[in-house]
Amino acid sequence: MQIPMFNNLEDLVSQIDPILANYFSAIEKIKAKNFHRIHHSILEAEISDLDLAPSSGYGYSDWGRDKIEKVFSKVFGGEDSLVRPQIVSGTQALYLAMMGSLACKRAGESRDFLILTGQPYPTLLPTIELLKKQDINIIIENVLEKPLDDFIDEYKEVEFIYLQRSKGYSLRESLEINKIENIINKVRQQCNNNPIIIVDNCYSEFVSDKEPCHLGADIIAGSLLKNPGGGISSTGGYLVGRKEIINKVGDFLYGPGSGKELGPVFNKKDILLGLYLSPLIVSESLKGVVFGSHLFTNLGYQVLPKPGEELSDTVLSIILNSKELLEKAIKTVQKSGPLNPRAIPEGSTLPGYTQEVVMAGGTFTPGSSIELSADALLTPPWVFCLQGGFYYEHYRETCINIARVLLG
CB atoms near residue 227 (< 10 Å): 29
Does the pLDDT at position 152 exceed 90? Answer: no
Are 294 and 323 a contacting pair, CB within 8 Å? no
The 3-state secondary structure of 338-374, one letter per residue: CCCCCCCCCCECCCCCCCCEEEECCCCCCCCCCCCEE
For residue 306, give the DSSP letter: P
Of residues 4 and 183, more confidence is placed in 183
Give 372-377 contacts, CB < 8 A, sequence gap 24+: 372/285, 372/288, 372/333, 372/336, 372/337, 372/398, 373/333, 373/337, 374/329, 374/330, 374/333, 376/169, 376/326, 376/330, 377/122, 377/169
35-275: CATH, from 3.40.50.150, 3.40.50.2300, 3.40.140.10, 3.40.640.10:
3.40.640.10
| Residues forming a β-bridge with 81 | 240
Q: Residues with Cβ < 8 Å from 56, sequence gap 6 or more? A: 264, 266
pTM above threshold 0.75: yes
pLDDT at 147: 84
User: What's the pLDDT tens digit per position in 5-34?
Assistant: 888 999 999 999 999 999 999 999 999 999
pLDDT at 4: 77
pLDDT at 164: 98
- pLDDT above 90 covers what percent of the chain? 91
CB atoms near residue 355 (< 10 Å): 12
**Nearest Cα to Cα of residue 171 among 142, 146, 200:** 142
**153 by DSSP, 3-state: which?**
helix
* Domain 9-33+278-407 shares a fold with domain 35-275: no
pLDDT at 189: 94
Largest CA distance in the chain: 67
134-150: average pLDDT: 90
9-33+278-407: CATH, from 3.40.5.90, 1.10.10.10, 3.30.465.10, 3.90.1150.60:
3.90.1150.60
**144 by DSSP, 3-state: which?**
coil
Does the pLDDT at position 151 exceed 90? Answer: no
Does the pLDDT at position 66 exceed 70? Answer: yes
pLDDT at 148: 85
The one-letter code for the residue type at 324 is E
381-389: average pLDDT: 98
Indicate the range of 75-89, 152-166, 319-333 predicted with least confidence.
Answer: 152-166
pLDDT at 106: 66
Q: How far apart are CA 309 and CA 289, in angstroms?
A: 11
User: What's the pLDDT tens digit per position in 34-43?
Assistant: 999 999 999 9
Does the pLDDT at position 110 exceed 70? Answer: no
Query: Distance of CA 98 to CAs 3, 187, 238, 252, 259, Å?
Result: 46, 18, 13, 10, 16
pLDDT band at 109 (very low <50, low <70, confident <90, very high): low
21-45 and 63-76 helices cross at what angle (nearest 10)? 140
Does the pLDDT at position 108 exceed 60? Answer: no
Domain boundary assignment for the chain:
9-33+278-407, 35-275
Burial code of 49-77, b = ≥16 C-beta within 10 A, e = fewer?
eebbeebeeebeebebbebbbbbbbbbbb
Mean pLDDT (the chain) is 96
pLDDT band at 59 (very low <50, low <70, confident <90, very high): very high
Q: How far apart are CA 203 and CA 225, in angstroms?
A: 10
Indicate the range of 303-312, 343-352, 389-398 predicted with least confidence.
Answer: 343-352
User: What's the pLDDT tens digit per position in 167-197?
Assistant: 999 999 999 999 999 999 999 999 999 999 9
CB atoms near residue 221 (< 10 Å): 27
User: What's the pLDDT tens digit per position in 232-274?
Assistant: 999 999 999 999 999 999 999 999 998 899 999 999 999 999 9
**Nearest Cα to Cα of residue 236 among 206, 218, 263, 199:** 263
